Amino acid sequence: MAGFIGNTPAETYVSLETQNFTTSATASYTLSNAVTNENEIALFINNVRQQPGSSYAYTASGTTLTLSSATAGTDTMYCVYLGKSVGTINPPDGSVGTAKIEDSAVTNDKLAGSITDAKISGLSASKLTGTIADARFPATLPAVSGANLTNLPSDVTKATSDPLISTNPSGGVGTLYLNKNSGELWCCTDATAGSNVWTNIASGSGDIEPWAFQGESYGYASGGGANVIDKWTFSSDANATDVGDLSVNRYGTCATSGQTHGFNAGNDSNSTTIDKFSFTSDGNATDVGDLTLGRDDATGQSSTTHGYCSGGSYSGGYSNTVDKWSHSSDGNATDVGDLTTTTQIPGGQSSSNHGYTSGGYTGSYSNVIDKFTFASDANATDVGDLTVGRSYNSGQSSSSHGYNSTGYTGSNVNPIDKFAFASDGNATDVGDVTAARRHSGGQSSTTHGYAAGGYESSNSNVIDKNSHSSDGNSTDVGNLTVARRGCGGQQY
């Protein structure tokens, strides 16, 4: 067997590096690789090899190449690095095919650094498998057309529009919804049929959720033996300001709140008029429709889309009528059901799915809590009792409970009653208003209930506030612009 002294010589893949020069009228050039002396390169001018040495054609040291005479711009010149062939066993560029690469031979270390687009332009999507570590992603993913997101799991709904609260996901909570046109993505966080909540999980246009009865910004007291519309902020305790007028003076008015407007219906002259005023800009109310029955001392409830007026008194006596009208388009009300009894001056409350009429006067002071559905027109049912029968009570609503504060049982009373929306049952006494009085207007923020105005021994201008998150007494947090009773309450 043949042997070798020193390194085994390479039998294949030996290549000699060359450098081509751009010639000009000069004797000095720069080498791309440093050399010890001129004997490590072979220099060719016009394809004729030159003799190295200081007494001959050229010398070289480091990266400096010096010719014994200048070249002309028409000459061709290149050199071969003789030393570059020693121990070189790398294959030439472009000579290794995929069949020559052993399976699993390309490790993560070999892929360190940047891989250019040109190297992956032909990569099949089927090759992208496994899990990519979070560290490999940028802080924010680049924008991508929703139309290019394919092969999504079955619990992702793809559409060309945004979800609605009525978009009921078959997969329930956790279902993803993708708008293919905008690329926005939502996750269902509440799968209540018809009132779904879709939370935007990207930096898109926001969440899709049902409108809430409770206001976030302002409370309103409208009418009350006057045409004044008072407004005060929920964010801090303060007095109200006069921001507009109703179309007529109203006492014992029914009040509701839409998404953009407040509404008042009826008055003590048995008017049928429905007034509307804007929440987004201060101003006067306009007459936009009529009740089916002119009456006063009714109470109001509000759904996502409609206002309701229930009970009241008219020239023929007490009423059990439940009227309904649209909050989004002007028009007259329709009679959609009846309370369990004829009553006047009850309190009104609203959950996300039901309206409530509580207490009132039926010939005696009532403790009945009636409930009717918003989803379909129907009569009310008796679902519980207040702690005491009373009329002239003001109603407020949290997201989970109904409240009644102030009232009259033959004399003014101060209890605050509370009953649950989630299950039918009786109310409990959870606190007191600052003074016993009757016929206040009720308003509801996301955190508190308010009772504005009313009658003690004379008309009151007090705005009382009680917490919805913890039971307790009310506090006096401001004043209306005019002391009055029988005003309507709205919130935005």
pLDDT by residue for the chain (492 residues), tens only, comes to 556 566 555 555 667 899 999 999 999 999 999 999 999 999 999 999 999 999 999 999 999 999 999 999 999 999 999 876 544 445 656 666 677 777 777 666 666 555 666 666 566 666 666 676 666 666 666 666 666 666 655 678 899 999 998 899 988 999 999 998 888 899 999 999 888 999 988 766 667 777 789 999 999 999 998 899 999 999 999 999 999 999 988 999 999 999 999 999 998 888 899 999 999 999 999 999 999 999 999 999 999 999 999 999 998 899 999 999 999 999 999 999 999 999 999 999 999 999 999 999 999 999 999 999 999 999 999 999 999 999 999 999 999 999 999 999 999 999 999 999 999 999 999 999 999 999 999 999 999 999 999 999 999 999 999 999 999 999 999 999 999 999 999 999
Angle at 354 between CA 292 and CA 414, to 5 degrees: 90
Tell me which CATH homologous superfamily contains domain 218-491.
Answer: Kelch-type beta propeller (2.120.10.80)
How many CB atoms lie under 10 A from the CB of residue 85? 13
Q: In b/e form, how buried is each residue of 388-419, taking b as 16+ CB within 10 angstroms?
A: bbbbbbbbbbbeebbbbbbbbbeebbbbbbbb
SS3 118: helix
Burial class (CB in 10 A: 0-12, 13-18, 19+), 386: buried
Instruction: Please answer whether residues 218 and 445 qualify as being in contact, where contact means their C-beta atoms are separated by less than 8 angstroms.
Output: no
For position 78, what pLDDT does the model report? 97
Distance CA 27, CA 66 (A): 6
The DSSP result for 234-299, as a single string, is SSS----EEEEEEEEEESS-EEEE-SSEEEEE--TT---EEEEEESSS----EEEEE-SS--BS-E
SS3 492: coil
For residue 312, the Cα-to-chain-centroid distance in whole angstroms is 40
Report phi then psi at 462, rounded to 5: -70, 140
Alpha helices in 126-177 (DSSP H): none
What pTM was computed for the model?
0.63
Where along the chain do its domains lie? 17-85, 142-210, 218-491
Alpha helices in 57-172 (DSSP H): 117-120
